[in-house]
Every structure is written in C-alpha cells, then in structure tokens.
Amino acid sequence: MKELLSPAGNMECLKSAVNNGADAVYLGGKHFGARAFAGNFTNEELKEATTYCHLYGVKIYITVNTIIYEDEVEDFIRYIDYLYQIGVDALIMQDIGMISLVKNKYPDLEIHASTQMHNHNNENIKLLKSLGVKRLVLDRELSLEEINALDDDLEKEVFIHGALCNCYSGCCLFSSLNGGRSANRGECVQSCRMPYKLIKNDKYLNTGCNYLLSTKELNTTSKFKDLVLSNITSFKIEGRMKSPAYVGYVTKVYRRLIDDILQGREPLITSEEEDTLKILFNREFTTGYLFKDKVMNIISSNHQGLEIGKVIDITTKKIKIKLEKDLYQEDGIRFKESNLGMIVNMLYNDKELLINKANKGDIIYLDNKINLKKKDIVIKTSSNYLEREILSNNSPKIPINIAVERQKDKLVITFTDNKNNISKESIKIERSINRPTKEEEIKEKLSKLGNTPFIIDNINIEISDSDFVSMKDLNNARRLLVESIISKRIEVKRHNINDNKEISFKEERSKDYEISVLARTKEEIEASLDRNVNRIYLDKELYEEYKQYPNVYLRLPRVNNTYPSNINNVLVTELGGISKYTSSRYNIISDYYLNVINNYSINFLLNHNVKRVTLSPEINYYHLDNLIKDKVELIIYGRLELMITKSCPIKELDKCPCNKEDKYYLEDINKNRYPIIHNNCLTQIMHYKNINYLDNIDYYKKIGIKSYRLELFDEDYNTTIKLIDKIRNN
C-alpha cells in the first residue's frame, strides 16, 4: 500500500483533497496543532470531516503535534477523547509524554510520530516502537538512501512537496526565543524567511543576497518513481495554509504519478503540470535532501511564480508585452526586476481591444497603473481562471454493484460497495394481473442515485416474466439501501478505553543542590573543575581530553547514527540516545532539545534511566510549581542554540570556512548578531544574547528545583567562577 497524504486547512481544502484522489488527509483542530495560523477545524467540523472522509474511503489524521504544558493536560485529554469517539484514524503527535499518556488510555488509537520528534535513526525507531507508535514522519533532511537503510519495523512517511523548514523540525527555538511565538506550539514567525547580513571577523561580507536562511520549495515529481519503489509507506504534501486549488491540484498530480508507477507506466510530468505547479506556489523547486539536491534560495523568500513574457515597450499609459505563456484577465502578475505587481483587470490585444485571454506568442497591452519604468520580465503569480478550473471537479462517485434476485415471493435487492459492505432489502412480489414488471423498469428505478455519493458499476436483475413489483416499493428500497450503505461506510466502533491505570509521579525531596556546566572552552572547563561542579558537559573533542574526570559527560550530537558504548556519563540530545543508554550502567542526563514541559514527559524519561531531565527553555520559568522538581535541571544562564540545520549560509556563497579561528555571524534587521558554529557540515545558529535567571535562584530553590545549568559559550575563567558562585551562594 502506497498512501498519498494531503493537507487540509479548512473544509474546502479537505474536499478538494478527497475529490482529487488523496488516500488520507491530515488536519488540525483549533488547539494543539503545529499550524496555529491555518484555518483549522472546530470540533463540529472535525466530526463532519471524519464522516466525509470515511464515506469516500479516505483516512483522516489529526495533528496534535505540539508540546503540551502541564496545566493543559486535562483539556488535551478531553480533546483526544473527542477525537477517539468520532473515529479519526490516527493522531500525529510530538510530545513524548502525551504519546505515553494517550497510548495508555486509548491502546487501539493509532499514533504517528510527527517530524517534530526529529525522527532520523534506528534507535529512535526502537524507542517509538516500544511506545506503540505505528508510523514515523521522517526528518526532511534524510536522503532516500538513508531512509532505505532504516529499520522497517514502523511505517515511514516523508514530505514530497511544499515548503521546507531550514532547521531540523522540532529543533528550532528561533521563533520562540526571539519572537515569543513557539514553533513547537505551531506559532512559528518564520525567522528563516527574514533578511540577514553575513559577518566574518567583525567585517560585513558582500553576499549580494539577503535571505541567507531561506529554502526553496520541495517538488519530487521528477524523481517520484524512486520514492514509490522505496520502503516508504506514505507520501505527504505540505500545505495546511495553502489554498483549496493548491491542495487539489498537487494531490491530482501525485495521484496520477502513483497510479502510473503502480500500473507499470512511466510517470512523466507534463510541461503544463510543471507550469501550473509554479503558478500555484514556488520559491524555486528542489528535489530536496531526499535526492541530495541544493535546498537554499538565498536570493528571495517570496513566491517566484512562472515567467510568461517580456516587456517590449512602455509608456506612461500602457505596457506592451510579448507573451511566452497564456495570460487571462484577472491573473496576478509581477515584474521581476522592478518587483512591482498588479492584477490584470484590463487585457488588450495588439489592436488595443479588450479581451479576456491572450495566447503564447501574442502581443498584448496592459494599463500601466503601477508606473512601471523599465523593460522587465513578466511573472504570473496567480490565476483566478486556473483556480476555478481546478476546483470545478465534482465530488467523486463510489462504484456499487446491485444484484436483484427472486427468492420465493420476495425480490431481494443487494447493494455492494468497493469495501465489501453489503446491504439488503426485500420487497413483496405479486402475480401480474395486467402487465408484469420489466427488468428495464427495475433498473431505471434503482439507478436513480441522484445526489447520492454512488454510481452503479454493475447491475444484475433476475425476475420472472409474470412478476409484478410496486414502483413505490422499489423507490423506498433504493432509498433505504443508500442510507444503509452510507451508515456502514462511516460507522465507527470505539470501546477500548483504559480507565484503570493511573500514572503517578513520585517526587523525592533532597536538600542538596547540583550545578551543571556546558563548557565550550578549556577556560570554562578548568573553572568548573576548580569549583567542583556536579557535571561538566563536553562535545567529543574536549571530552576526549577530559574524560578521566568522573564529573565529565559526553554531549552527544543532535543528529546521530552512532553511539559509543565505552562511556558512563552521557548528555543525550535526541530520543535515539534515550533508547541506546536505557541500561542502568549509564548515567544519563536528557538535554533541553527534547522539549520537555510537562510531568508526563519527565516521568517517561525518568522511567528510561534518565537521572536528570533538562526542561525546555520554552517553559514558563515563573510557573514551575506543578512540575516534578527534584529530578529536573533548569538552564539558569547561557547562550542557547536557536537552530541546527543541514544547510550553511557560508557554503551557499562558496565561502565555506576551513579555518576554525574565523568567527561568523548572521545579523538581523535590528543589528542583533547570531554566532554561527560549524560541526561536521551541520550549522548551529546561536542566540544573539544570553538568557539569565540567576536573580531568581532563591525562588527556584524555594519551590524545590535541585539542579541548575550554565550553558556557556565564550566566557573566560573568572566569569565562569563568578557564575558558579552566584548559584552556590544564593
């Protein structure tokens, strides 16, 4: 089974996806979904959407893929219960604690691990499998080769078309720490689409580009056969904030490609399809990391549209254009170099007569209402005509077979659909007095399916030459059969709710306080050793030099496929490490990258041999009272990582650094400078400033927080000593 999975930001998008061949649709409710600014669905609309999808044999997956605060858990589980009762097919989830809670309470509810969980290795798969997860939505950064090498224990889902995130999903704090809106809560401000300058050693580099973190749009149509023939189960189109026309057309294109491939035909994308995809939305296309293609468009973060012609003359009143593609009245266009846009309200032919369409090769005129001053390339960015054409598809019809057979003194009518749902009705047969009922009459009555979702695929009628049946009875039987088969198609049976097991949280009170230091320099390490802190977290290079100290921990890479076994102390940065080091011989601390903000996530990690759970910096530092406090670690001061990405703005400009002494920064429009760190072709963008909650230490100690971390970046020895002493002495 190869599944085509389409997005829906509202009911119109959902119907457009279903009408154009989606096997499944994913969408969010008004809460707990990672697209807070999409239209999304009310509870009543979710029920309507579930009924509509199931009627047409389409699965429905609901996104609840945000991290959940402790005081939201009660509302969250009520929402899940509603989704369970209305019969949704699966939940797409991020929060490890909430997955654990949901699988405990609703054992038969299917869970898909969101790409927000940073799914990229076999240890990660092992952990999620143990939780009862059925499917992984994989990191967009994985190549097809890497995907095929992953364990096949769980279904795999990949994005095949649409917007790309620059950062590994679920690993981005840029929006949260800079804009106060969390990407892990569905509120991303799209920091990667903003302009930045590049600085090297305090000097601005002449990049000629502004959008140094902006990606292209994913489009795998040209290599889609390789994906369909892989071990991937589900092919996902991004776009819950896109239009119904976009959703419908992209679904239609990939539906045809899948069908062609599975039926042995060569899946060729036509030039017309390519053009339409460009008009609907693109920031330039890429086949993505799936096929090791370049993903960055650092020139522009805007919709690029389709080039349709060139300006050949301009006056103050008219713009003269030679078309290379068709143009319709009411199309939206933009002039590429001038960056001026307009709607084509008035379209004139070469005789300056009004027309509603012009063809490739035509000379046309437009009113110069934007004061265009130079000859330019014309880009089509939207088309009302195209959208109307795409959305003209009617709802699909479900084929049914009808059998009519004589059984003693009754006529038994059977409706069978493509899901083998069988519905039967019997009507009385009388002996004909004047004229027997003909087969054609029965067929005509039963075929009046009108506005129902059904269409007859085959009808077989067996009746005696002397039989008479009432036309009224036939009409009534047809109506009842339609109602019955609809009911069977949308029927949901839910009964497996576990109300017996309560998850309890045990908190042990201790008077001892602990200090941890993430150190990046030898000065920071020496100061931490001299002050005898409880834990020092080091990356591999420094760890090898200091591993003889019992309080030194290896910080694992955030993108990881290999796990050393000859260690005891480890700072785990992704879920695969939790799986690998679950044995009690290891001392595990979980890092803040696991996005922990509730007791269920804390409890899950504690039950997997984690000794201290580092809380997410997205948590409200002033409302920690309701958390398990004695086993958590709180980052009290430091420079945090905002983004980890497989792309590199420096490499994109062919200025790839080879000298570790060089210092690079991105500078935003507010003159904030973000340090860039390179590590094995991964790029980390650091915050431009330190967080600092040291003045609140008394409050944290009072409520029972026992472990505090300094996340150091470039502090010297004396500064490090002062920071450690500040924690100890308060």
The lowest-confidence range among 72-86, 501-515, 633-647 is: 501-515
Domain boundaries, the chain: 3-164+215-291, 306-390, 398-490, 514-729
Higher-scoring residue by pLDDT: 511, 398: 398
In this prediction, what percent of the chain has a pLDDT beyond 90?
83
Q: How far apart are CA 258 and CA 253, in angstroms?
A: 9
Task: Report DSSP state, residue 438.
Answer: P
Q: Which overall architecture, per CATH, does domain 514-729 show?
A: Alpha-Beta Barrel (3.20)
Structure-token match 């050693």, residue found: 201
β-bridge mates for residue 365, sequence order: 320, 348
User: CB of 499 within 8 A of CB of 690?
Assistant: no
Residue 714 backbone dihedrals phi, psi, to 5 degrees: -140, 30
Query: Using one digit for the tens of pLDDT, what is the confidence trace for 609-657?
Result: 999 999 999 999 998 989 999 899 999 999 999 999 999 888 887 676 6
Give the contacts of 560 (CB within 8 A, at least 6 positions apart). Answer: 121, 573, 574, 576, 577
pLDDT tier, 138 (very low <50, low <70, confident <90, very high otherwise)? very high
pLDDT tier, 226 (very low <50, low <70, confident <90, very high otherwise)? very high
User: CB of 299 within 8 A of CB of 283?
Assistant: no
pLDDT tier, 505 (very low <50, low <70, confident <90, very high otherwise)? low
Query: Using one digit for the tens of pLDDT, what is the confidence trace for 568-611?
Result: 999 999 999 999 999 999 999 999 999 999 999 999 999 999 99
295, amino acid identity: V
Give the contacts of 445 (CB within 8 A, at least 6 positions apart). Answer: 471, 474, 475, 478
Q: How far apart are CA 54 and CA 23, in angstroms?
A: 11
Per CATH, the number for 306-390 is: 2.40.30.10
pLDDT at 81 over 80: yes
Q: What is the pLDDT of residue 125?
A: 96
The CA–CA distances, whole Å, from 477 to 399, 442, 472, 552 equal 18, 11, 9, 78
pLDDT averaged over every residue in the chain: 93
Q: Indicate the pTM of the whole model.
A: 0.95
pLDDT at 658 over 80: no
Closest to 670 in 3D by CA, of 689, 685, 684: 689
Q: How many of the other CB atoms lie within 10 Å of CB of 230?
A: 16
The lowest-confidence range among 111-125, 322-336, 401-415, 536-550 is: 401-415
The lowest-confidence range among 463-467, 665-669, 714-718 is: 463-467
Per CATH, the number for 3-164+215-291 is: 3.20.20.70
Q: What is the pLDDT of residue 32?
A: 80
Give the contacts of 589 (CB within 8 A, at least 6 positions apart). Answer: 516, 535, 537, 553, 570, 571, 572, 610, 611, 612, 613, 614, 633
Long-range contacts of 558-563 (CB under 8 A, 24+ apart): 558/118, 558/168, 558/171, 558/593, 558/644, 558/682, 559/120, 559/141, 559/168, 559/644, 559/646, 559/682, 560/121, 561/120, 561/121, 561/122, 563/123
Q: Cα Rg for the chain, rounded, in angstroms?
A: 31
Tokens of 489: 């198609």
Q: What is the pLDDT of residue 649?
A: 86
Do the first three CATH levels of 3-164+215-291 and 306-390 match, i.e. the same topology? no
